[in-house]
Amino acid sequence: MGLALVWGAAGSGCSKHEAPRTPPPPLVGVVESRRMDIPVIDTPNGTTVALEQVTLRARVRGFITERLFEEGSFVKKGDLLFVIEEEPYKIALESAKAMQAQAEAAVRKAEQSKVRETSAARVALDVAQLNLKRIEERRARALLARNAGSQEDLDRAEADRKQYEAQVEADQANYDQAMADYEIAILAAKAQLDAAKAGVRDAELDLGYCRMTAPIDGRIGIALVKVGNLVGPGQEGGSYTELATIQQLDPIAVDIRISSRYLDRATQLVQQKTPVELTRPGVEGEERHQYNGQLYFIDNFIDETTSTFLSKASMPNPNGTLLPGEYVKLRMEIEQLKDVVVVPAQAVTESESGPVVYVIDKEGKVAVQGVQAGLTTYQGMRVLFGGLEAGVPVIVEGLQMIRPGMPVTVQPATLARPVETPTTAGADAPTEAPAATDAPASAAPKAAAPSPKKAEPAAGAH
């Protein structure tokens, strides 16, 4: 009997269940929202091009006799680079000078001609003879009137007078023609002299073209012809032979294609000579160019096919580490957002109703707060344009363990090292900084969706 009671008591103890324990509130890390000045950075892609480029061409026909540069070296404006055989052009110049001397002699001869004086003297002589004949005619007429002379004498005197009148008219016409011929001869001789001088100048130019100098400072490429090659235009005036190309590499330019909707902002940036940084592919990843440049140019038309316009940046390149044709990425500050509210980028999550952050209410429970989140991040902080004031704790750690209304235990969050480079985040943003979301680097960034006047940057490349 006693054993049964003991067994019954033991069985009764095993049938009781302990009450379930309440799990402790999850531990979350929080960071207070704060205000900051945020630079808006754009990172368009570009292509390096020479600021100036000149292709040397042979303007006269002949054989290359000298090449006076090392291929790939830097040359100065005025440096002698090629020499074409000069002897034929020296002979042509001497011939042209001889023709000029002959023309100068012809001018002097025309100017010193005595044909005017000779014609004038002949007219004067015939006028004197005419006057004499007129006197003789009057005498014969008077003698005939007094019956002291004959009609025959009068007729002879009258005929002589008419003869000399005609002679004077002819001599006067010859004199007028001589005067005209004198002026025309001088003009013709001077025209021949001008043509001879032009021939000399042309021969001098041809001879000068035999020596080709560098028109700009820059780096010269490979020599496209060798010493001994025949160069110059074809026999029937064909294309001129290309000899070498010089490119100005310091500074070097970067071409940027920008969407037309950013024309106003890009114009302001160019007028302000906005500083520009450049990164390029290197052996160990992206490498930053040692020198900063600036925007300096906007083209005068928009490409109707792509709806973009060309802008240029100028980059110092004293060491020649940049060459034309390289694909590079630029970085420029296009705007400053003043005194805006920011939170850690990981605190902002997307919901069906839009961006939200999780905050701690007065009872220590989780609450959802809708916000107007821009796409800009800076040092790991994301810009908010509305929905949250500064000084509010937001949850950044333990987000996967919470739900609205849940009590939580709060501790300061441990953030990763902040990103030093400001950038833009979102679907259209470049991916230079770790805080930015994945997106093509060539897209046009937007700073913030709710406030286009503040948020939308200017110079996104397309």
Q: What are phi and psi of 43, to 5 degrees?
A: -130, 70
pLDDT value for 17: 58
Neighbouring-strand partners of residue 412: 30
Kind and range of the H or E run holding 375: strand 372-378
User: What gap in Å lies between CA 449 and CA 462, rounded to an integer?
Assistant: 19
Residue 95 exposure: Cα atoms within 13 Å on the Cβ side: 9
**Which class for 388: exposed (0-12), middle (13-18), buried (19 or more C-beta within 10 A)?**
buried
What distance in Å separates the CA atoms of residue 87 and residue 83, rounded to the nearest whole number? 11
Q: Which of 323, 245, 314, 310 is nearest to 276 (CA)?
A: 314
Question: Which DSSP string do the residues of 325-343 spell out, in sequence order?
Answer: T-EEEEEEEEEEEEEEEEE
Domains of the chain: 27-48+248-455 (2.40.30.170), 59-85+210-240 (2.40.50.100), 90-209 (1.10.287.620)
Low-confidence residues in the chain, pLDDT < 70:
1-20, 114-116, 235-238, 417-462
Cis omega (within 30 of 0) for bond into 251 = yes
* pLDDT at 368 (0 to 100): 92
CA 441/CA 4 separation, integer angstroms: 84
Query: What pLDDT shows up at residue 18?
Result: 62
pTM score, whole prediction? 0.61
Question: Which amino acid does the sequence have at 192?
Answer: Q
Q: At what angle do helices 151-209 and 87-111 cross, to 10 degrees?
A: 160
Whole-number Å distance between alpha carbons of 427 and 432: 14
The stretches of 362-443 forming alpha helices (DSSP H) are none
The span from the CA of 104 to the CA of 200, in Å, is: 13
Q: How far apart are the first and last CA of the chain?
A: 96
